[in-house]
Structure 1
Amino acid sequence: MPDHYRYLILGLWAAWLIYWSVSALNVKTTRRRESLLSRAGHGVPLLIAAWLLVTPRLSGGMLGARFMPAGPAGSLAGTGLVLLGLLFTVWARVHLGRNWSGIVTLKQDHELIRSGPYRWVRHPIYTGLLLAFIGSAIALGQWRGGLAVLLVFAALWRKLRLEERWMIETFGAAYTSYRNEVAALIPFVL
């Protein structure tokens, strides 16, 4: 991937991290939170996936091999997907408002949000993150990017399942109905 695309993608992720950190300062009080061990169960794979994508080079082996030819088409398409994915997470974050948390939690007066991107997927932040990681992998064009996407999917799916259990416990039939009407990650599919 040409350096200007690499820097652009890193800049998009950095801007997203800054927004995410600042917006985390204005959330409701936590009533229940997942354990540190549980958080590590999805946090560690996400960190490994990020490392796979940002490490400058992996010498030799299949992970450093290309799954698509180097060139501007893959870099441009990947950068576009990163941008779309991160914007989708921001849209979802705005609709969650003060109910948001980076870890699985229940907030005081937690609300079931069904507006904005939550009309199409129950976990649009995870959908956007997957899309952004897929874009990063496409722009990189190496098999390590594919491995990173698989790790992200597995980590987010694990986190999603815990979150779903807590939502059912909290919202009961209202969440079960929502779950039957709206896909988890991919509209009309998953």
Structure 2
Amino acid sequence: MIAAAIVILWLVWIVVWIAMARGVKSVAERAKGSRAHYLPMTLAVVLLAAPRLPLFPLDVRFVPAALWPAALGLALTFAGLAFAFWARARLADNWSSSVTLKRDHELIDDGPYRWVRHPIYTGLLVALAGAALAVGEWRGVIAVALAAVALWRKLRLEEAVMRRQFGDTYDRYAERTRALIPFVL
């Protein structure tokens, strides 16, 4: 039941995310290598979504097969996706799935962007961690690690584009706002 709820949350996220991608500003510039995160993110999804992965040690549990890890995982998945939705809605037509500079690009620093510079990534990592907890096997931990590395690389590309576009304004924003975890990282 909880596993089905998590799958439904992710499917809703995918459908809404695709629908929200319509009507964004046109691309002025695309960063080289800005789509390199697609492959590790896909591998992370496969590791998490596979009903069973009988490969030792990927199939070994890191939490007990109990209700509380699955329920906590569901809550984290919901909270992470909700945070990512909020960030995506606030970003509006400046959003892109790859690292791009849009025509008339705006620097957004309010809403969830007041707490972290990359709240979509924060939300996705929390949601993936929730799904990994619900799965309860080491493959979930590896999936989250793969996603974290891929998103960190993408984050670094975005930071370079934003610094080049917004200069000192972005530097001041980066000084007062952490990248992924409020007050920490």
Tell me, in whole angstroms, the C-alpha distance in 2 between the residues paired with 1:126 and 1:10: 19
Corresponding position of 1:130: 125
TM-score after normalising by structure 1: 0.95
Tell me, in whole angstroms, the C-alpha distance in 1 between the residues paired with 2:42 and 2:34: 12
Corresponding position of 2:7: 10
For the aligned residues, what is the CA RMSD? Answer: 0.8
Q: Does residue 1:106 correspond to 2:105, yes or no? A: no
TM-score after normalising by structure 2: 0.98
One-letter amino acid of the structure 2 residue matched with residue 7 of structure 1 = A
Regions of 4+ moved over 3 Å = none
* Conserved? CA contact 2:76–2:127, under 8 Å: yes
Tell me, in whole angstroms, the C-alpha distance in 2 between the residues paired with 1:113 and 1:151: 27
One-letter amino acid of the structure 1 residue matched with residue 141 of structure 2 = G
One-letter amino acid of the structure 1 residue matched with residue 40 of structure 2 = P
One-letter amino acid of the structure 2 residue matched with residue 93 of structure 1 = R
* Conserved? CA contact 2:31–2:161, under 8 Å: no
Tell me, in whole angstroms, the C-alpha distance in 2 between the residues paired with 1:157 and 1:110: 22
Secondary structure in 2 matching 1:41: coil
Structure 1: where are the runs of 5+ without partners?
Answer: none
Q: Does residue 1:54 correspond to 2:49, yes or no? A: yes
Within 5 A, what are the aligned runs for 1:5-154? 5-35=2-32, 38-154=33-149
How far 1:39 moved relative to its partner?
A: 3.8
CA-to-aligned-CA distance 1:38-96 (integer Å, 9 cap, x gap): 24421100000000000111114011000000111011000000000000001001110
Identical aligned residues as a percent: 49
Tell me, in whole angstroms, the C-alpha distance in 2 between the residues paired with 1:106 and 1:39: 11
Structure 2: where are the runs of 5+ without partners?
Answer: none
Tell me, in whole angstroms, the C-alpha distance in 1 between the residues paired with 2:75 and 2:65: 16
* Conserved? CA contact 2:76–2:129, under 8 Å: yes
Paired positions, count: 185
CA-to-aligned-CA distance 1:109-159 (integer Å, 9 cap, x gap): 000001100001000000000000000000000000000010010000000
Tell me, in whole angstroms, the C-alpha distance in 2 between the residues paired with 1:145 and 1:32: 35
